[in-house]
Amino acid sequence: MSLCSKNLVGGDNLLTGYIKLASKTDVQPNSMKHFETKGQKILLANVNGNFYAISDVCMHRGCQLSKGKLQGETVICPCHGSIYDLKTGNFLKGPTKKGEPRYDLKVEGDEVMINL
């Protein structure tokens, strides 16, 4: 039995699991930053030492959320003010009507690992 999860992508079985996204020091407390890995645009936020990752593309008009405002455990889109919960990816205030994909993270030593 493998420790990796199996996902169907494009009809092929691919083993996926956690990969390094960043070092803990790459995102200072109470800030966020844009990362790209495996074709995914990721917003990584550090809220008082807790890391959260959601898609970095606003579901409303495609703006880059990491250029917005971090407010507690939410991010405010810089274009039209949609507000997303970093813990769940759910939208809290529109104009968007869709939540953001959320990614599972784990911290190993100094590395922030993401499960894609």
pLDDT at 2 > cutoff 90: no
CB count in 10 Å sphere of residue 59: 20
What is the arithmetic mean of pLDDT over 76-94? Answer: 96
Judged against a pLDDT cut of 80, whether residue 9 lies above it is answered with no
Q: Say which residue, 8 or 33, is predicted with more confidence.
A: 33
Mean pLDDT of 69-89: 97
pLDDT at 1 exceeding the cut of 90? no
Res. 5 pLDDT band, cuts 50 70 90: very low
Q: Measured between alpha carbons, how far apart are the two ends of the chain, in Å?
A: 20
**Domains of the chain listed by start with CATH number:** 29-115 (2.102.10.10)
Q: What is the DSSP letter of 68?
A: S
